[in-house]
């Protein structure tokens, strides 16, 4: 008897096979005695009949009956068993009779894709590979999801240049060449467990126009301000509407979700809106806008009439209360203190450097009804611990304080004002000298809307005599002291007489949002737990190229990275910026599982602490592809 026949009678064994009583096979259809393993060795009296067709293997050309000839399966093996004795050699749940077809020129299918040569084949037939095409998705998984367009024999099922694994991570279709990461603006990092991440970097682009803003309007409530307040009262609602960015009717998670809409970005409220830089015919707009209202006249008379909120109706209502039923203005107080009002709005009764600069005595004048003054009110400061100051500015908003006034008469609040050492002169000097630093330290921007002039002290600390002082001087003093200046060191102050106040208020708000430089910082946050740990660092991209329709501006005023997150100094809002996202290598955070995993991290770009725009980095952890002997 030939040696080959003898081997087929007994069953062939690999050199690594340890059990002398069995051979290297599975033979699930073999007929054996009860209790005997299917791969028990045969004998001349009972030769191996792997497929149980009553025809011994040494007389059969297809021992296991899988339709693949023994001469093709020959000496192929996977783990501890030969292909000739296995209906599913690699154990991926796809029968050899399927994976082994078609046979071309005596060779089994070999679907592994070579990225460099862009050819198929690695010398290992598909019946021996758990991931036949080498795309990182197991054959069993792709077969299970073939209705979605996945093909276990194609690295890139739709031929759009992106592997099936990448398309899974990006959430795009593997069967539609027009739907891919490039057309959607997605990018995906492949971050295998304890292995190299690819690609080494990807670029995200961001808008930096201001989205979130708090507008706190404050008025000198004395008689001479009636026409100015009437001007704002009649137009405040339209001002707010004109400053609001248009909602484009689509929910979103990131900028790419707004593709196809004109001049659109994804807001931090997850709505597609007109780009704040371009809204209202290029004049600019805001997405998330709160308004509030305050009044003052003499020293320690500041009162919050309307707390900052997204409901502008409250602000309008409280403006209405300054007029009676005949549209007459209800003036209150005298001896205006424009240097103190911003301090009260920002600090309330909180001392500054050990000195209380604003007192809540309870003799403020408030308006419970139209012109129904109450002279025993308190400042009505915000009590929300998550807000800033008496006005209740939001921590994540660009904070703007607008003050309309026409006189400065702090000295008139007490006697002996001509003596620089008198108590009133010292208090007035404290207001004048500290208002700028207090606004600046709390990142509150100042817009001055002034008119007229006063006979007062230009410098309360050293002035010997009163003199005619324009309110432009007072507005400029506060504006520059607070650091609220454009890139040419000009404060945002406007002469606003009578009906012109509403127009100048709008001009000031838009101008400050476009022309006051902001400090850019970046953060990374988990969308999925621990996903942000897959970001090694961000690198400012100053290439000047366009990414996702935005220019990677050639920035020069960079700030040293904090925790691998770089910043930008003195950037004009609306300047587009780009960051290269660099993934960690050999990540040990997400072990592979039987299913591919996609986790997301959000990258936020902030201006002076307020979120301007954000993007998402996608990380794909390839699955653990296992067979029966893995």
pLDDT classification of 196: cutoffs 50, 70, 90? very high
Question: How far apart are alpha carbons 276 and 212 in whole angstroms?
Answer: 10
Same domain, residue pair 363 and 479:
yes
Q: What is the pLDDT of residue 1?
A: 45
Residue 534 included in any domain: yes
Same domain, residue pair 544 and 415:
no
Same domain, residue pair 53 and 33:
yes
Q: What is the pLDDT of residue 61?
A: 96
Q: What is the pLDDT of residue 537?
A: 96
Q: Determine the average pLDDT of the residues in 279-285.
A: 89
Residue 257 included in any domain: yes
Same domain, residue pair 458 and 554:
no
Question: How far apart are alpha carbons 223 and 332 in whole angstroms?
Answer: 7
Under 8 Å between Cβ of 109 and 76: no
Q: What is the pLDDT of residue 270?
A: 94
Same domain, residue pair 324 and 457:
yes
Residue 57 included in any domain: yes
- Lowest mean pLDDT: which of 242-256, 322-336, 400-414? 322-336
Residue 156 included in any domain: no
Q: Among candidates 579, 594, 587, which has minimal Cα distance to 619? A: 587
Same domain, residue pair 445 and 593:
no
pLDDT per residue as tens digits for the range 333-350: 788 899 999 999 999 999
Q: Among candidates 100, 104, 177, 91, which has minimal Cα distance to 139? A: 91
pLDDT per residue as tens digits for the range 349-397: 999 999 999 998 766 777 788 887 777 788 899 999 999 999 999 999 9
- Domain hosting residue 599, numbered range: 203-209+518-621
pLDDT per residue as tens digits for the range 461-488: 888 788 889 999 999 999 999 999 999 9
Q: What is the pLDDT of residue 231?
A: 83
Alpha helices in 132-286 (DSSP H): 139-144, 164-170, 181-184, 226-243, 279-282
Q: Determine the average pLDDT of the residues in 123-147.
A: 93
Q: Determine the average pLDDT of the residues in 330-335.
A: 80
pLDDT per residue as tens digits for the range 551-584: 999 998 887 777 788 889 999 999 999 999 999 9
Same domain, residue pair 431 and 291:
yes
Percent of the chain whose predicted confidence (pLDDT) is above 70: 97
Same domain, residue pair 509 and 548:
no
* Spatial CB neighbours of 513, under 8 Å, sequence gap ≥ 6: 209, 210, 213, 276, 284, 286, 398, 573
pLDDT classification of 621: cutoffs 50, 70, 90? very high
Number of domains into which the chain is organized: 4
Q: What is the pLDDT of residue 331?
A: 77
DSSP letter assigned to residue 340: T
């Amino acid at each position: 008897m030939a040696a080959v026949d003898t081997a087929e009678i007994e069953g062939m064994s690999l050199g690594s096979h340890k059990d002398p009583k069995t051979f290297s096979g599975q033979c699930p259809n073999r007929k054996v005695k009860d209790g005997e393993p299917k791969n028990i060795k045969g004998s001349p009296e009972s030769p191996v009949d792997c497929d149980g067709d009553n025809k011994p293997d040494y007389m059969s050309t297809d021992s296991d009956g899988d339709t693949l000839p023994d001469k093709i399966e020959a000496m192929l093996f996977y783990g501890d068993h030969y292909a000739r004795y296995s209906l599913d050699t690699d154990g991926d749940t796809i029968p050899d009779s399927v994976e082994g077809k078609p046979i071309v020129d005596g060779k089994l299918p070999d679907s592994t894709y070579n990225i460099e040569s862009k050819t198929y084949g690695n010398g290992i037939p598909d019946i021996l590979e758990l991931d036949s095409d080498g795309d990182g998705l197991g054959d069993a998984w792709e077969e299970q999801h073939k209705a979605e367009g996945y093909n276990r024999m194609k690295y890139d099922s739709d031929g759009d240049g992106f592997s099936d694994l990448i398309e899974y991570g990006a959430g795009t279709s593997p069967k539609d060449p027009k739907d891919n990461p490039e057309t959607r603006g997605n990018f995906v990092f492949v971050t295998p467990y304890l292995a190299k991440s690819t690609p080494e970097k990807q670029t995200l682009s961001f808008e930096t126009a201001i989205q979130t803003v708090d507008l706190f309007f404050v008025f000198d409530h004395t008689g001479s301000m009636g026409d100015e307040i009437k001007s704002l009262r009649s137009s405040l609602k339209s001002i707010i509407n004109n400053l609001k960015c248009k909602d484009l009717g689509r929910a979103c998670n990131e900028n790419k979700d707004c593709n196809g809409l004109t001049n659109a970005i994804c807001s931090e409220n997850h709505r597609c809106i007109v780009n704040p830089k371009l809204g209202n015919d290029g004049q600019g707009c805001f997405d998330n806008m709160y308004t509030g209202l305050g009044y003052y006249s003499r020293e320690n008379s500041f009162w919050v009439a309307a707390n900052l909120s997204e409901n502008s109706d409250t602000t309008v209502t409280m403006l209405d209360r300054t007029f009676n039923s005949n549209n007459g203005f209800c003036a209150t107080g005298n001896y205006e203190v424009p240097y103190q009002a911003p301090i009260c709005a920002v600090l309330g009764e909180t001392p500054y450097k050990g000195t209380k600069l604003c007192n809540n005595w309870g003799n403020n004048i408030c308006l419970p009804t139209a012109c129904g003054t109450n002279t025993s009110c308190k400042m009505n400061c915000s009590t929300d611990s998550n807000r800033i100051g008496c006005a209740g500015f939001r921590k994540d908003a660009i904070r703007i304080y607008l003050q309309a006034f026409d006189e400065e008469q702090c000295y008139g609040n007490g006697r002996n004002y001509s003596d620089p050492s008198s108590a009133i002169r010292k208090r007035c000097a404290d207001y004048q000298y500290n208002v700028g630093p207090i606004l600046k330290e709390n990142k509150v921007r100042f817009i001055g809307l002034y008119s007229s002039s006063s006979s007062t002290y230009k410098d309360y600390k050293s002035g010997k005599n009163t003199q005619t002082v324009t309110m432009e001087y007072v507005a400029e003093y506060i504006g520059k002291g607070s650091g609220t200046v454009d890139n040419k060191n000009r404060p945002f102050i406007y002469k606003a007489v009578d009906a012109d106040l509403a127009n100048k208020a709008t001009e000031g708000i838009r101008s400050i949002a476009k022309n006051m430089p902001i400090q850019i910082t970046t953060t990374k946050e988990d969308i999925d737990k621990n996903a942000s740990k897959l970001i090694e660092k961000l690198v400012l991209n100053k290439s000047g190229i366009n990414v996702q329709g935005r220019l990677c501006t050639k920035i020069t005023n960079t700030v040293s990275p904090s925790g691998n997150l770089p910043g930008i100094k003195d950037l004009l809002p609306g300047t587009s910026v780009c960051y290269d996202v660099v993934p960690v290598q050999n990540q040990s955070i997400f072990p592979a599982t039987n299913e591919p995993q996609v986790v997301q991290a959000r990258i936020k770009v902030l201006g002076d602490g307020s979120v301007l725009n954000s993007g998402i980095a996608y990380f794909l952890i390839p699955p653990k592809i296992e067979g029966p002997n893995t």
